[in-house]
Chain A
Amino acid sequence: MSTVSWITARGLFGRRRFLMLLPLPLVLVALAVLCRSLGVDPGQWGPPVLVGLGLAVVLPVVALIVGTGVLGAEIDDGTVVHILTKPLPRWQIVLPKLAVAVGVSAATVAVPLYVAGVLADSVRLGLALAAASALGALAYSALFLALSLVTRRPVLLGLVYVLIWEGLLGNFVSGTKVLSIQQWVIALADRMAPTELLSTTVSVPVAGVLTALVSVGFTVLAIDRLRSFSVAGETS
């Protein structure tokens, strides 16, 4: 474990606000257990819990907070200078931070989704959801990490993507679903464990290729942006 990833992990876990992330997965598991114990038909509670809460809210919000936090927090309080002045290639800064972000978000999201998936249908669905959400965490984290280097307001721009692009436009203009990480995750999970619970209009090859493209592309962009990074104060 390199020093950069060690520092990043400590920066994430060492503060009280990390506890803010815990209620999200807990609610997910609690709702799944509640529905299961009351004997509701999984076909009814599956979509709102697994997709509506898990893949549409918990995954992007956790990835947003963690993904912009790993580098954005250091940029905000100016301590990023300490890392930048070390004789490290830029990719050795970006990749460990990305790895920590993906690891933390994937662990926070995949475990409750696995439990909910098992309760809803089968172990296979649980594993599929966990794997697909880990891939989704990779794509989201790369996107938000790059955002925190491209703009000074990464969280708000990330919220525009999650709320307005995926949430609002995805419901009204179905064409935008092709460019929505959430739909790719659903498509991949549905391919790994075909059930009635998950449905999407995006085809599996498109989802797979675009997920890989986004993950790699935004990581490269982040490394490139960090090459010519200028330190500035807080935006007005």
Chain B
Amino acid sequence: MSEPTGVIHDIGYQRYTGPRLGRRHVFGALYLHGLRTVFGLGRTAKAKIFPWLVVGIVTLVAAGITAVRSQIGEVVMTYAQFADSMSWLVIFFVAVAAPELVSRDLRSGVLPLYFSRPLPRDDYPLAKLLALVSAIWLLLGGPQLVMFLGAAFTTDKGMSGVWDELLDLLPGLLYAGLWAAVFASIGLLVASLTGKRAFAAGGIVAVFLMTTPIVGTLSILPSRTINELAFLASPSTLVGGVGTWALGDLLVPEGRGGGVPIGDFGPVYGVAAVLLVAACVALLLLRYRKVAAR
């Protein structure tokens, strides 16, 4: 048997010697891409229909409230009440966005490509989660800014009026952040369980909608303690409870009869919200340990 005669020619391919962007840049790119995906930016018109439908409705409501306030001078909703009354739209937005973020990648099997980059396993779900949190916060915060601008330009007390309004806006934005954290972590966890976007959307809505009537039922049971703890059962009322406890009068001014009647259990609500978000994030990370190992 003769010696092999093949020759490897050097045809001049060069190694890449430039700077290599590290983990931070991968994370940043993933986050930015996630944020764009949620709103359908850089995608076809079909992908933009549902997110922008929600954004449109929310902005329209805020504009209406602002118009009523500037014309009649009546405050229809405070910033926090605005976030509360938009809860159904937020649920729908999560049901649209979360499967778009994670279910597509699961279904098309591109996760090995992601994890072959210098990207630690936990960074992928965390970047997606951060993108969803930011998107929901923008969804709720943007209209609040519209309301603030309307109120600031029609105030008749000069700069002090604007300053008062700003002090009302900031707790509202903080409250919107709480909404975003709770809803995004639950939604993304449910969506990461299935690769089918349709089932993920149905599951998210089922989880959120099913819990609301439970609160309604628990709060009429003949026990004051259960009544005051009932709002723990549903994410949206849990957020309301935390807001009532932590931000209190800042959210709902005296005499407007708002807030959630949680009695003295405020700290319990705070702890429960933190635990809920932490548990969802932990389960999400666990889920991606398993998926990545496949």
A contacts, CB < 8 Å to B: 17, 20, 23-24, 27, 31, 34-35, 38-40, 44-45, 48-49, 52-53, 56-58, 61, 64-65, 68-69, 72-73, 76, 152-156, 159-160, 162-164, 167-168, 235-236
Beta-carbon contact of B95 and A156 below 8 Å = yes
Judged by a CB distance under 8 angstroms, whether B198 is at the interface is yes
Contact A61 B202, beta carbon cutoff 8 Å: yes
Question: In this complex, what residue of A is CB-closest to B215?
Answer: A48
Closest to B203 in A: A20
- B46 contact set on A, CB distance < 8 A: 152-153, 235-236
Q: Are A20 and B92 in contact (CB under 8 A)?
A: no
- Of B88, B201, B205, B220, the residue contacting A168 (CB under 8 A) is B88
**Residue of chain B at shortest CB distance from A41:** B220
Contact of A236 among B47, B91, B95 (CB under 8 A): B47
In the bound complex, what is the Cα–Cα distance between A66 and B216 (angstroms)? 27
Known: A61-B202, A65-B202, A159-B92. A39 touches B222 (CB 8 A): yes
Given contacts A17-B194, A31-B214, A168-B89, contact A40 B221 (CB under 8 A): yes
Main secondary structure of the interface of B (DSSP, over half): helix
Q: Is the CB of B198 within 8 A of A76?
A: yes
How far apart sit A56 and B212, CA to CA, in the bound complex (Å)? 11
> Could you mark each residue 237-260 of chain B with 1 if its beta carbon is under 8 Å from any beta carbon of chain A, else 0?
000000000000000000000000
7 closest A-B pairs by beta carbon, nearest first, are A53-B213, A48-B216, A155-B198, A52-B213, A57-B209, A65-B202, A236-B44
B32-88 residues with Cβ-Cβ distance < 8 A to A are: 43-44, 46-47, 50, 53, 57, 88
Q: What would 26 A/B residue contacts be, using CB atoms closer than 8 Å?
A: A20-B206, A24-B210, A27-B214, A35-B221, A40-B222, A48-B217, A52-B213, A53-B210, A57-B209, A57-B210, A57-B212, A61-B205, A61-B206, A65-B206, A76-B196, A152-B46, A155-B198, A155-B202, A156-B201, A159-B202, A160-B50, A160-B53, A163-B88, A163-B89, A163-B205, A236-B47
What is the CA–CA distance of A64 and B92 in the complex, to the nearest angstrom? 14
Size of the B side of the interface (Cβ < 8 Å), in residues, is 33
Instruction: State A79–B205 Cα separation when bound (angstroms).
Output: 27
Q: List residues of B whose CB falls within 8 A of some A CB.
A: 43-44, 46-47, 50, 53, 57, 88-89, 91-92, 95-96, 194, 196-199, 201-203, 205-206, 209-210, 212-214, 216-217, 220-222
| A35 and B217 in contact, given A17-B199, A156-B95 (Cβ under 8 angstroms) | yes
Most chain A beta-carbon contacts within 10 A, residue among B53, B89, B202: B202
Bound together, the chains give a CA A53 to CA B208 distance in angstroms of: 12
Hey, which chain B residues are within 8 Å of A53, CB to CB? 210, 213-214, 217
B213 x A45 contact (CB < 8 A): no
Given A57-B209, A61-B209, A159-B95, decide whether A164 and B89 contact each other with a Cβ distance below 8 A. Answer: yes
Decide if A57 touches B213 in the complex (CB within 8 Å). yes
Distance between Cα atoms of A157 and B99 in the complex (Å): 15
Q: Known contacts A49-B217, A76-B196, A156-B96: does B206 contact A38 (CB below 8 Å)? A: no
With A68-B198, A236-B44, A236-B46 known as contacts, the answer to whether A31 contacts B92 (CB < 8 A) is no
Q: A23-B210, A61-B209, A236-B47 are in contact. Are A31 and B217 (CB under 8 A)?
A: yes
A122 to B216, CA, bound (A): 22
What is the bound-complex CA distance between A228 and B198, given in angstroms?
24
Q: How far is the CB of A174 from chain B (nearest CB, A)?
A: 17
Q: Please give, as numbers and ranges, the residues of chain A lying within 8 Å of B212 by CB-CB distance.
A: 52, 57
Tell me whether A164 and B88 are in contact (CB under 8 A).
yes
